[in-house]
Chains A and B, each alone.
Chain A
Amino acid sequence: MSRKKLSRRQFVAATALTSAALISAPFVRSARAAGTLTMGFWDHWVPGANKASTDLVNEWAAKEKVEVSIDYITSQGNKNLVTIAAESAAKSGHDIMAMPTWWSHAQSDLLEPVNDIMEPIIKQNGEVNGTVQYLGQLDGKWLGVPACVGSQIKGPCSRIDLMKKFANIDVQEMYPAGAPPKADNWTTDTFLKAAEACQKGGVPFGIGLGESSDNVDSAGAFFLSFGAQLVNAKGDLTVKTDEVRQALEFYKKLISFLPPDVAAWDDASNNKWLIAGKGALIMNPPSAWAVAKRDAPQIAEQLWTHGFPAGPKGRFAPFLPYFWSIWNFSKNKEAAKSLLVHLSKPDSIERLVTASGGYDLPAYSKLTTLKVWEEQGPPKGTLFHYPNPYNHQTLSIAASPAPPKIAQQIYTQALQTKMCLKYSQGEKMEDVLAWAEGECEGYMRS
């Protein structure tokens, strides 16, 4: 029997051919027949919340025979924004990316429209609020599917005892658990009086005026409640208006009742302020309450999340949604859409919201009365009004209704908080308005 010897040259050639074949043919029919899908999701701060997302994705992947890979990307240090910028520049990366607030618009040229899946999702889950439409749509094109994960309302979180003691306001009576709000008297005037009373009582409201998101969101909601827009929906400058002047006058009074260092506050400062028992109210999603429940339970028992005060032009609360968007360079768009439909089913959303302890908010009208918000406590019902179950307030975002690409600049540069600070520090009203107008003109570059 002859035995053919394999020469070194033949061995090298055979290895090279095999490697080339393997590299050039990755989509061999197998159990993972529908290819691969990668996603960059927001890294949730609530322990265990990411697991709910992973489980849902894996269930879908097993059914659809898709190989999935999830990266949870933190928003600490804006790592998620850096990743989005890098992937958009490289035109390569994940198939699905969690886009915070403005980022779907900022990357609109590179995103796959998802109108075909949004229509049935809305039919199933109910209408989305105006802010989601504003941030998620461009010329009728949906730029992403509203993600409940990470979406939040930054309304007031008050101390029940301190508000009663110093401001004579019973926040539980005003916003009773399981019933509609009785908050007709909860106006910007009442708010100012309460701020003054609490400041005199040694527990001032903790509303920051720094350049981070929490501070900008509060200022934005108050501006809207006075009808103050720096740039209107058409893109015209509307800085020098009576509404803006009124908003600045309101903030000047409010700042005199706030802690003296609010100009340096970041997104953690208000949480610390409330949890340390130093203040009677902050503007925040329930993260401060959740941390207090762990670290300062006697404080947590006294916290109640409720609606914003109403101004002359309405009651507005900051809503910051996330979107799951598909890059147009994704190689598996159909699978990505199928996954987003799965994640947007009512059951999936309920699992995600429950895993987050009620922090995450669905954008759909039929999903604002889930059990989790009724049950959370102590005190029981503290989160009942968090998802705005009675549409008692208009969900909004600072700098709206300016065209999103201009509004993003106003928001990022914290123009509204800077205006408030400048005016409160003694600059003349007209100088502040002229300065802000100049800044807005600069943001209009295309």
Chain B
Amino acid sequence: MVDVAFQPNSVAPARSTRKRASLRVALKRKSTAAFLMTLPLILLVGILVVYPAFYSLHLATLNKSMQRFVGFGNFEFLFKRETFWLVVKQSCIFALSAVFFKALIGFVVAHLVHNVPAKGQRKWRGMLLVPWVIPPAMSTLAWLWLFDPSYSAFNYTLAFFGIGPISWLGEPNWARFSVILVNVWFGAPFFMIMYLASLKSVPEQLYEAAAIDGANWWQRIWYVTLPMMRNIIAITTLFSLIVTFANFDITRILTAGGPLDHTHIFATWAFRVGIEGSDLPLGASVSLFMVPILAIAAVFILRDINKRGNEA
């Protein structure tokens, strides 16, 4: 029984009570809590990623002195430059070959580690992750000393076998090889650890069934392991493709884009043009050129993942 007399003026308080109650309910909802907890990160991404991205779009439409709107003028200019197409070609060579070898080495090493008895596996995992956890600027400096034009430790060693000296960073093809090698060395552990995690989730019964069917080693990999790892391979490839296309530090430290621009990739050339050459709009245009390439790659790779997800 309600012991409060009816009051006509109490409609508004009742409404506000209801509002407060519904706010409380909303706050109690898991999705609201999750949104509020991720809000700082969303804000951070907004400030540090979304705003700079739109600002660079804006920059790319300005003239060199940033006083006049030129639309796609910077891109038209770039398309006529021989060096720009050299950079596009090199960025593709660099990213595709580095990602391919990182994936291949990661795959092989993940299998090797997976087959190490559980007791010693942790040590191997730890050791193999070392290249990935060292800041690349530092480890690349060590590589620079190994490749040093005049005092290369590699050349010193090769000399014992009557080979060399090789101009690791002075000859265009060797320089390309060197920057790709360092990138593979740095990135392969990431693939290894992702593939290892994926391998561990493949049910043993599938291998047992394959063995009963008389599948050999290669067939087990082709028909069991690879299909089970397809999604993780696609995601790591996409992630690595983005990171490798946007790589800066390794090339900058090892060759700074030389010799004769033969190791420049988008980020190093954008820095050269935009910061060192005081042409920020052109630098922004160079770096933005990565976006359509990566967007196309992302669409293809992610579409494939969705398809398989639906099949499942």
CB-nearest residue of chain B to A421: B260
For the complex, give the distance between the alpha carbons of A425 and B143 in Å: 27
B256 and A211 contacting across the interface, CB-CB below 8 Å: yes
A-B contact count (CB 8 A): 89
Question: CB-CB < 8 A to A272: which residues of B?
Answer: 150-151
User: What are 14 A-to-B residue pairs whose CB atoms are below 8 Å?
Assistant: A82-B275, A85-B274, A102-B278, A107-B278, A109-B65, A260-B170, A264-B258, A408-B278, A413-B277, A418-B261, A435-B82, A442-B80, A445-B77, A446-B63
Question: CB-CB < 8 A to B175: which residues of A?
Answer: 264
Within 8 A of A (CB), among B240-288: 255-261, 272, 274-280, 282
For A86-107 the 0/1 string (1 means CB < 8 A from B) is 0001000000000000110011
B169 beta carbon closer than 8 Å to chain A: yes
A413 and B275 contacting across the interface, CB-CB below 8 Å: no
Contact partner of B65 among A81, A85, A446, CB < 8 A? A446
Question: CB-CB < 8 A to A10: which residues of B?
Answer: none
CB-nearest residue of chain B to A89: B280
A261 and B167 contacting across the interface, CB-CB below 8 Å: yes
CB-nearest residue of chain A to B172: A263
The 4 A-B residue pairs whose C-beta atoms are closest, nearest first, are A264-B170, A106-B278, A261-B149, A264-B169
CB-nearest residue of chain B to A269: B149
Contact partner of A263 among B260, B276, B279, CB < 8 A? B260
Nearest CB in chain B: distance from A36 CB, A: 27
B64 beta carbon closer than 8 Å to chain A: yes
Question: CB-CB < 8 A to A405: which residues of B?
Answer: 278
For the complex, give the distance between the alpha carbons of A261 and B170 in Å: 5
Question: CB-CB < 8 A to A413: which residues of B?
Answer: 272, 277
For the complex, give the distance between the alpha carbons of A82 and B272 in Å: 11
For the complex, give the distance between the alpha carbons of A82 and B271 in Å: 10
Nearest CB in chain B: distance from A261 CB, A: 4
A210 beta carbon closer than 8 Å to chain B: yes
Nearest CB in chain B: distance from A111 CB, A: 13
B260 and A442 contacting across the interface, CB-CB below 8 Å: no
B81 beta carbon closer than 8 Å to chain A: yes
Known A-B contacts A210-B256, A421-B260; the reply to A264 vs B275 at CB < 8 A is: no
For the complex, give the distance between the alpha carbons of A422 and B171 in Å: 12
B83 beta carbon closer than 8 Å to chain A: yes
Contact partner of A278 among B77, B81, B150, B274, CB < 8 A? B150
CB-nearest residue of chain B to A278: B150
For the complex, give the distance between the alpha carbons of A408 and B279 in Å: 10
Nearest CB in chain B: distance from A290 CB, A: 20
For A405-439 the 0/1 string (1 means CB < 8 A from B) is 10011001110001001100000000000010011
For the complex, give the distance between the alpha carbons of A439 and B82 in Å: 9
Nearest CB in chain A: distance from B275 CB, A: 5
Interface of B is mostly: loop
B167 and A260 contacting across the interface, CB-CB below 8 Å: yes
A30 beta carbon closer than 8 Å to chain B: no
Question: CB-CB < 8 A to B150: which residues of A?
Answer: 259, 261, 269, 272-273, 276, 278
Contact partner of A81 among B63, B82, B165, B276, CB < 8 A? B276
For the complex, give the distance between the alpha carbons of A275 and B190 in Å: 40
A78 beta carbon closer than 8 Å to chain B: yes
For the complex, give the distance between the alpha carbons of A265 and B149 in Å: 7
A412 and B258 contacting across the interface, CB-CB below 8 Å: no
> Which bucket holds chain A's interface residue count?
35 or more
Given known contacts A266-B256, A269-B149, A421-B259, what 16 new A-B pairs fall within 8 Å (CB)? A78-B275, A78-B276, A81-B275, A85-B280, A103-B278, A261-B170, A263-B170, A264-B168, A264-B170, A265-B149, A269-B150, A272-B151, A409-B277, A412-B272, A421-B260, A445-B64
Contact partner of B83 among A259, A262, A276, A439, CB < 8 A? A439
Question: CB-CB < 8 A to B151: which residues of A?
Answer: 272, 276
| Residue in B63, B278, B282 whose Cβ sees the most chain A Cβ within 10 Å | B278
B83 and A210 contacting across the interface, CB-CB below 8 Å: no
Nearest CB in chain B: distance from A250 CB, A: 19
CB-nearest residue of chain A to B147: A264
CB-nearest residue of chain A to B168: A264
A212 beta carbon closer than 8 Å to chain B: yes
Spell out B's residues near A (CB within 8 Å): 63-65, 77, 80-83, 149-151, 165, 167-171, 175, 255-261, 272, 274-280, 282
| Residue in A78, A102, A210 whose Cβ sees the most chain B Cβ within 10 Å | A210
Question: CB-CB < 8 A to A418: which residues of B?
Answer: 260-261
Question: CB-CB < 8 A to B171: which residues of A?
Answer: 263
| Residue in A261, A272, A413 whose Cβ sees the most chain B Cβ within 10 Å | A261
A264 and B257 contacting across the interface, CB-CB below 8 Å: no
For the complex, give the distance between the alpha carbons of A109 and B64 in Å: 12
For the complex, give the distance between the alpha carbons of A443 and B77 in Å: 11
Contact partner of B260 among A106, A278, A422, A438, CB < 8 A? A422
B82 and A262 contacting across the interface, CB-CB below 8 Å: no
Question: CB-CB < 8 A to B168: which residues of A?
Answer: 264
Question: CB-CB < 8 A to B260: which residues of A?
Answer: 263, 418, 421-422
For A74-87 the 0/1 string (1 means CB < 8 A from B) is 00001001100100
Question: CB-CB < 8 A to A210: which residues of B?
Answer: 256, 258-259
For A356-378 the 0/1 string (1 means CB < 8 A from B) is 00000000000000000000000
B259 and A263 contacting across the interface, CB-CB below 8 Å: yes
Question: CB-CB < 8 A to B279: which residues of A?
Answer: 409
| Residue in A264, A265, A269, A446 whose Cβ sees the most chain B Cβ within 10 Å | A264
For the complex, give the distance between the alpha carbons of A182 and B206 in Å: 88
Nearest CB in chain B: distance from A265 CB, A: 6
Nearest CB in chain A: distance from B98 CB, A: 20
Question: CB-CB < 8 A to B82: which residues of A?
Answer: 435, 438
B77 and A442 contacting across the interface, CB-CB below 8 Å: yes
Question: CB-CB < 8 A to A89: which residues of B?
Answer: 280
Nearest CB in chain B: distance from A343 CB, A: 25
Nearest CB in chain B: distance from A266 CB, A: 7
Nearest CB in chain A: distance from B269 CB, A: 10
Nearest CB in chain A: distance from B122 CB, A: 37
Nearest CB in chain B: distance from A415 CB, A: 11
For the complex, give the distance between the alpha carbons of A128 and B279 in Å: 29
For A380-419 the 0/1 string (1 means CB < 8 A from B) is 0000000000000000000000000100110011100010
For the complex, give the distance between the alpha carbons of A278 and B148 in Å: 15
Question: CB-CB < 8 A to A212: which residues of B?
Answer: 256
Question: CB-CB < 8 A to B65: which residues of A?
Answer: 109, 446
A408 and B258 contacting across the interface, CB-CB below 8 Å: no
| Residue in B65, B82, B276 whose Cβ sees the most chain A Cβ within 10 Å | B276
For the complex, give the distance between the alpha carbons of A103 and B278 in Å: 8
B64 and A446 contacting across the interface, CB-CB below 8 Å: yes
Nearest CB in chain A: distance from B178 CB, A: 10
